[in-house]
Each structure stands twice: as structure tokens, then as C-alpha cells.
Structure 1
């Protein structure tokens, strides 16, 4: 646990040294949120609601979904793992105090939390002042939303680590990176909420772990799910976390044997 915290803190300290990068991330997030809001205002075209969802709800979805839940390119983790494998640096991870997946999780969790404070918070405040931001559907929904944000962040990191470890067998991290980025944007509901999907695609997306990254947290925030359903889906999200942790542990175990056999 001490090693985990040390990796996370070191990663945060590294992030604080790049002020120009932070500013560019804030500006990029502002442009993205503004574009999303503009698109949804055009889609609604003066209508109060579409598919039972009001324009203020979609504006809230755009503001929070594009910042708190999506404003971080987790596919970069896949690239990082691919580079470590390609250069042979992956062998050095075997002598570290923490396993490679745990180290990756900690090193990326720190910047993600920093991103919440330095990028997401100011952008949310700016657009709340410009457009207004709907509060959570209820106090209970708001508290559950916090839990969903934790699940969302954890799943995003775990999925990226899982895809990255597949580089041991695929040998092409770039294809895995683009595959994850495309599927993540679509199936998470980050670009378009799942309630606008065709029925067959929506049914599939609802049960995949990507949906817990953006769609389910926002569905809870906006009150699209009642409290019982919100608790149920939160439990399912925790099950996905447990399943992915087990799968990552199994893949890393096989990868370690592969490193040893091939001499690192």
C-alpha cells in the first residue's frame, strides 16, 4: 500500500510541473464541452425533450460527461505498456516492489485525481455559469453518483491496463490503442448516451463495462434510474472491477513467464 501511494504521489508531483500543459488541457476541455452543447442544442432544435430527455439534462450530460467522466485519454496507458514491451524496459518491472499492473494503476490514478481538480473543476464552473447546471436528481442520487465516479475511474484504468497487457501477444499497441479509444468513446456513452442507441446496440452496450464509465454515472445523476436500480447497477460495476482485476492478474502472470522465457 505504501508503494502504491508513493507511485501515485510522484505522478501527481510530475503533473504539477507542466503548467502550460494544464492550461492547454483546460482550453481543450472548454472547446470540447462547448462543441457538445452546441451539437445537442442543434439536435433538439427548440424541442423541450427528445426520447424523454430534456435539453437541460443533455447540457448537464455534456458538461459532466465530457469533463469529470471522459476528460482523460486512458488509451495512453496502452501506448505506455506497448513502449515498455518494445524497448525491453518491461523486464525492469520484475524487480520493483509493486507488480507492474499495480504500479501502472497508481501512476495513472494520481494524474487522474489531479485532472479532476485542475481541469474538470474550473471547466464545470465556467459552463455552470454560462448555461446553468442541473443538480443531481436527489441527495441520494448525488451520493450514489460519487460512488459511480469512483467505479468509473477504476474501470477506465483497469480496462486500459487490460488492453495494454494484450500487447504481449498482439505486438501492436497502436491497433489496441485505437481499438480501445473507439470502442470506449462509443460504448461508454461518452459521445452519445445509450438511450439514443438502436435497441440491439443499446442492449449490448448496457451490459459491457464501458457503460459504467460515462452512461450509468450520468443516468444516476440525472435521475434516469431509480435508487434501487442505481444500487443494483453500482453493485454490477463493482463485480466488473473484481472480474477485471482477476483477469489482469492472470494475464500478468502469463506475461511474466513470457518475459522470463524470452530473457526479458
Structure 2
């Protein structure tokens, strides 16, 4: 039975855990060969690759620290050397530094600046390296955050700013790459059950109150977001371009 992504090659940055690992798995389920990147944990990345291979997919893991902009080109070269093509780029990797107000005299500027380096400049470097090598008709998908469009609590200005920056960048390159039928879209999840979310959960002012703001009072599942990525990556979404898709149960409407 033909799968929707048979013959395609996908890159998932930050694919060794959490949402990235789930996206990689779902892309493989649809027939794609998958390259995941990781910054630190080779063991976790190898476990994801082993799981994909057990499904019959071609898969590799590439160490690529997104805070180092020079890592982008070697990562793309490694994917081409292994698979010979690039059809899908899922810009998933990122970090979340939250909790301090912008007027806090103890604001950790270096850490917050690193967040901009990883989330924005690193993502842009990967996209610039991939775009000239991507096959016509390809897909670029940015994993943003609802905080890029709607900020319901304080202490997240820089994180929200990094995600908003990606929306503007995605719309710009959607215009640049449209003549090649390469679509560029942003998926903005709300709260998800990831390690990164757990790390910052204690900094939220009142988690139950935030859930009460959701028309659908629960957090997103990783499977739901990964399914949305697969749809945008697939043949049925070829005329969806330059869009921002919120997946937060209606928060912000």
C-alpha cells in the first residue's frame, strides 16, 4: 500500500526526543526516509533511529548544535551524502528560557541571548543551507509556539519574540520559494507534554488557570501535532503556503 511520503527525504531538527522524535516517527510511518539532528544526546538520537529502522524506514542521526551557525551546511551535506535529496525540512529544534521579566535587574541576558541564537539564527542558518538543495515541490515547516501570536502570562517576552520572528521569516521565504512550488508554513502548538515544557512549567503563574482559558481544556498531544506536520508535508497540502496554524485548543480566539 502506497504511503503519502514514499520516496521523500525529511530532516527533523531536534529529533532525539519529545515532539521532534514523534514527528520523525510519523514521517517514517508515511514512508519518508528521515534524518534527525541532535545537539548533545547521541544515545537518545540512536534510540530514535533504531526505532525508525525497526519500522523499515531509512534513518540517520546527525550531531548538529544549532547554536553554532557553521554547523548548518555540514548537516545538509551529510543528509545529501546519505540520501541524495531533501524534500522536507522540519525546523523543530529550539530552547525555552522563560520566567524573568524584561525589567528584572537580575535578568540573565546571556542565556536569553542564546535563546535568540538557537531559536532564530540557528533555524535560519539551517533553512538557508537547505533551500538551494531542496527539491522543487518540497516542504519547509517551522514548529513555532502559540506564544508567537498570543501571550497570556508574563515572563516569556524573549521566547515569544523568537517564535514571532520565525513567522515573519517563514512568510518571506514562502514568497521566495513559491516559484519552485516549495511551501513554507508554521505550526504553533500550545502546551505539550515535553521535557522542555516540564522544565518551564514551574515558572507558569497558574497552570490550572491557563488550562481554564482553553475552550478545549487540555494540552495538545504530541501525536496530534506530528499528524499535522505530516499533513502539511504531504501531497494534499501543496496549496497551503505562508500560513500559521495554531494547535492550542482554541486558546487566544
Q: TM-score, normalised by structure 1?
A: 0.31
Q: Greater strand share, 1 or 2?
A: 2
Q: Which has the higher contact order (CA 8 A, sep 6+)?
A: 1
Query: Which protein shows a greater Rg?
Result: 1
Q: Greater helix share, 1 or 2?
A: 1
Q: TM-score, normalised by structure 2?
A: 0.32
